[in-house]
Structure 1
């Protein structure tokens, strides 16, 4: 047996096949090659969230399905976003001590492991939906109900029976059958609660331009209101955050940031945590920073959001440039000064 030097080595030696998912800001696939390089300390973890790598591992044995296993690991990163090697070594030691559970696919492989975590119900539903696709299994028993519901066959008031898993299954299988068309046809008539749940599921996939266009009237309606929509605008931000159409996404975000509703904590947090890719755009970033500095989150919220965003390698430099923009407002200057101390240089 070769010496085990990484998590992927260990999994490989159990004979399992493995698929990795990032479970931080949203559920998305991570290639084994990228994760291997992260493990070796060659690159920073590409999607850090709250200074950790949140990873879901789906392991399966095609001929022995009873040995299939799922691990969720929360791994601390250093100041540059690299995996702390001592942590990785500690994790490996702990897993090797539980090797019997590991080889049997038993649940005790992660017993008492300080690096394991349990995703929230929404992410768990999306992960399970992906796992069924990867393993070539049919969707859950909730899938058919969700299809009938979005087709309008049950009455849109029947949403209390619509489980998160059914929504997750339909979203992960958006391109199968007529699932996308069902959703497009239903959007205008959906009550707020199922629409919100659907929007929060859509952030984990890449909704098409057509689907986003169908959501547009609901966004227009939201922007005309002055709050009180119980998180609907924040959910719409999440729905568009991973959309395939950059121009559409940027246009939506510009409109949201131009409205007074962009001062609301929930809306600011949704943009900060879900729209990191869009915030690379200097004009959008500047508008976002101005809203965050003036918004309901206060100075504490500003500092916490910025600490998380500046931890992302792709955003650190654009943020520092925006901080030094001579056109920035007094409010933003004061927030930056309070975060870094008044001697922060604007040159």
Structure 2
């Protein structure tokens, strides 16, 4: 047993196929090599959310893909974003203890289902992320998509009419988004985006945040976003969904311009909109000019001081943003509202 010094070593020794997914801000893949570096404190966790790493571990038997387990772990990080070693050691000890004869699993590719159950670091993902994880996990294991996938394909292809969305399942939309590179799926989604009613479009956007859309699909999202903002009649939930749908697209001046347009509008005063930008568009906020507008709107937004402090404490945990935010805090041209919000969060003598 003592030959194992990391979770990754144990999982690899089981003979099963393993995949890691981040489940924090969005659902995204993490390579096994990167996770091993994370757990050995060779690199900070790349996607911290609320000072934790939100992880899904998927293990399946390559000889029998119906045999698989998934564990969801919420692991605390230190102030520099590194996994706390005592947490890793606790999980490793539990895995070795509960797996029992783990050496015997090497040939079967199996892992006891309860090997990491009932540990203090477990969490239950929300339904949206669970659907996306299921879509990614079946794709990774070369298993069929859910029973809702074909219905989603038919709907977004316009076969049943775009107003007939009530019977759509979220899982089917997640499967379609995750499999956007398969067959004609990307083309189907691209052509549908201008025609979709608000509700199915918003649901689609919550799935698109967890993929990297190709050029044409991203272009369709940008056009719809620009037209929606020009009309100015959408509600805050719709703008928040739009932001999420665009968030994982390629970085470009056009994308930055759309986010800037949102931030300069009254939509940015709404909690769901400003939070969607904070949690999904942190890369865009590395632009100092955009960050300055973001902070000013956050300071006067409807989320109040509690929202300001909560959002900023999360963003300042990101190494790429912490120094930039502190620079903005020390900007002599900041508004009185921002100065007051900073004082409430850090103390009136913050410097």
TM-score, normalised relative to structure 1 = 0.94
**Residue 73 of structure 2 aligns to a residue in which SS?**
strand
Q: Is contact 1:222-1:229 (8 Å) kept?
A: no
SS at match of 1:54: strand
The structural deviation recorded for 1:231 is 0.7
CA offsets 1:24-49 (integer angstroms, 9 cap, x no match): 10011112222111111122111110
2:55–2:72 CA contact under 8 A, matched in 1: yes
1:248 and 2:248 correspond: no
How do 1:76-87 and structure 2 match up within 5 A? 76-87=76-87
> In 2, Cα distance between the equivalents of 1:122 and 1:160?
17
Aligned-residue RMSD, C-alpha: 1.9
Report what 1:285 is aligned to.
Answer: 291
Corresponding residue SS for 1:159: coil
Q: Where does structure 2 lack aligned partners over 5 or more consecutive residues?
A: none
Partner of 2:146: 140
The one of 296, 308, 327 equivalent to 1:321 is: 327
Aligned to 2:244, which of 238, 242, 245?
238
Moved more, 220-229 or 161-170: 220-229
- The answer to whether the 8 A contact 1:101-1:109 is kept is no
Deviation at 1:187, TM superposition (A): 1.8
1:128, 1:162 → 2: CA distance? 17
> d(CA) in 2 for partners of 1:227 and 1:188?
16
Q: Distance in 2 between matches of 1:263 and 1:233?
A: 12
SS at 2:164 equivalent: helix
What is the SS of the residue equivalent to 1:79?
coil
Distance in 1, matches of 2:197 and 2:52, equals 36
**Equivalent residue pairs, number:** 345
SS of aligned partner of 2:90: helix
Report the CA distance between 1:17 and its aligned residue.
2.0
Q: Report 1:202-241 matches (<5 A).
A: 202-220=208-226, 222-223=228-229, 229=235, 231-241=237-247
Q: TM-score, normalised by structure 2?
A: 0.93
Distance 2:101 2:312 in 1: 41
Distance change (3 Å), C-alpha of 1:30 and 1:221: same
Q: CA deviation at 1:107?
A: 2.7
Q: In structure 1, list runs of 5 or more residues that go unmatched.
A: none
Q: CA deviation at 1:204?
A: 0.2
Matches within 5 A, 1:176-215: 176-215=182-221
